[in-house]
Amino acid sequence: MNIRGKGWYQESWFRKESILMRRKTMNKKLKTIVKHCVYLFLAGCILGAAVQPLSAQVTIPQGSIINSAVFHVYVTTATNRSVTLHRITANWAETFVTYANFGNSYAMASEGGFTTNTIGWKEVNLLNLVQLWALGPMAGGYDNFGIAMVELEPSDNVPTTYWSSDYISDPTLRPKLVIGYTPPGGSLTYMTIQRPGGTAEYVVDSWLNPLEAALNYGTSPELVTRHYGVNYKYSLVRFNFTITPSCPGTGTPGYWMNHPEAWPEDYDHILIGEISYEKEVAIEFMKMAVAGDKTYTMFPALVAAKLNAAIGCATVCPNVNIASTIIAADAWMAMYPIGSGVAAGGKNSPWRVGEPLYFLLDQYNNGLLCVPHRD
Q: What H or E segment, with its residue span, contains residue 46?
A: helix 6-47
Domain count for the chain, please give it: 2
Same domain, 148 and 104: yes
**pLDDT, position 11:** 47
Same domain, 351 and 255: yes
**pLDDT, position 375:** 63
Whether the pLDDT of residue 130 is over 50: the answer is yes
Same domain, 112 and 215: yes
**pLDDT, position 298:** 97
Are 371 and 247 contacting, i.e. CB atoms less than 8 angstroms apart? yes
Same domain, 74 and 135: yes
Residues 6+ positions from 202 with CB-CB distance below 8 Å: 57, 58, 193, 194, 195, 196, 239, 240
Say if residue 344 is exposed, middle or buried (CB neighbours under 10 Å; 0-12, 13-18, 19+).
Answer: middle
Are 211 and 334 contacting, i.e. CB atoms less than 8 angstroms apart? no
Is position 7 within any domain?
no
Task: From 243, 275, 301, give the residue that closes a domain.
Answer: 243
Tell me the pLDDT tens digit for each residue of 227-260.
988 889 999 999 998 887 677 889 999 999 999 9
Same domain, 84 and 199: yes
For residues 354 and 44, the model is more confident at 354
Residues in the chain: 375
For the segment 157-176, the average pLDDT, to the nearest whole number, is 95
Tell me the pLDDT tens digit for each residue of 255-275.
999 999 999 888 999 999 989
Same domain, 214 and 325: no
Q: Which amino acid is at 82?
A: S
Whether the pLDDT of residue 330 is over 80: the answer is yes
SS3 351: helix
Is position 50 within any domain?
yes
Is position 150 within any domain?
yes
Is position 30 within any domain?
no
**pLDDT, position 314:** 79
Q: What is the average pLDDT value for the chain, to the nearest integer?
A: 85
For the segment 343-371, the average pLDDT, to the nearest whole number, is 92
User: Which residue range forms the structural domain that includes residue 164?
Assistant: 63-243
**pLDDT, position 152:** 85
- Among residues of the chain, what percentage have pLDDT more than 90? 62
Q: Which of the four pLDDT bands, split at 50, 70 and 90, describes residue 185? A: low
Q: What H or E segment, with its residue span, contains residue 335?
A: helix 322-335
| DSSP string computed for 75-136 | ESS----EEEEEEE-S---TTT--HHHHTT-EEEEEEEEEE-SSSEEEEEE-HHHHHHHHH-
Task: From 243, 274, 297, give the residue that closes a domain.
Answer: 243
How many whole angstroms separate alpha carbon 225 and alpha carbon 207?
Answer: 8
**pLDDT, position 138:** 82
How many whole angstroms separate alpha carbon 319 and alpha carbon 141?
Answer: 33
Q: Which residues pair with 271 in a beta bridge?
A: 276
In whole angstroms, how large is the CA radius of gyration of the chain?
27
Q: Which amino acid is at 71?
A: F
**pLDDT, position 14:** 46
How many whole angstroms separate alpha carbon 199 and alpha carbon 30?
Answer: 30
pTM of the model: 0.57
Q: Which of 28-32, 64-68, 109-113 has the highest mean pLDDT?
A: 109-113
How many whole angstroms separate alpha carbon 107 and alpha carbon 125?
Answer: 17
Same domain, 89 and 223: yes
Q: What H or E segment, with its residue span, contains residue 74?
A: strand 65-75
Same domain, 302 and 317: yes
Same domain, 173 and 264: no
Same domain, 234 and 300: no
Same domain, 92 and 216: yes
Helices (H) and strands (E) in the chain, counts: 8, 17
Is position 3 within any domain?
no
Q: Which of 163-167, 308-312, 344-348 has the highest mean pLDDT?
A: 163-167
Q: What is the dihedral of CA 182, 368, 241, 139, to 10 degrees?
A: -70
Same domain, 98 and 183: yes
Whether the pLDDT of residue 206 is over 90: the answer is yes
Task: From 195, 221, 243, give the residue that closes a domain.
Answer: 243
Is position 370 within any domain?
no
For the segment 157-167, the average pLDDT, to the nearest whole number, is 94
Are 278 and 212 contacting, i.e. CB atoms less than 8 angstroms apart? no
**pLDDT, position 77:** 94
Axis crossing angle, helix 351-365 with helix 6-47, rounded to the nearest 10 = 30
Whether the pLDDT of residue 346 is over 60: the answer is yes
Whether the pLDDT of residue 142 is over 90: the answer is yes
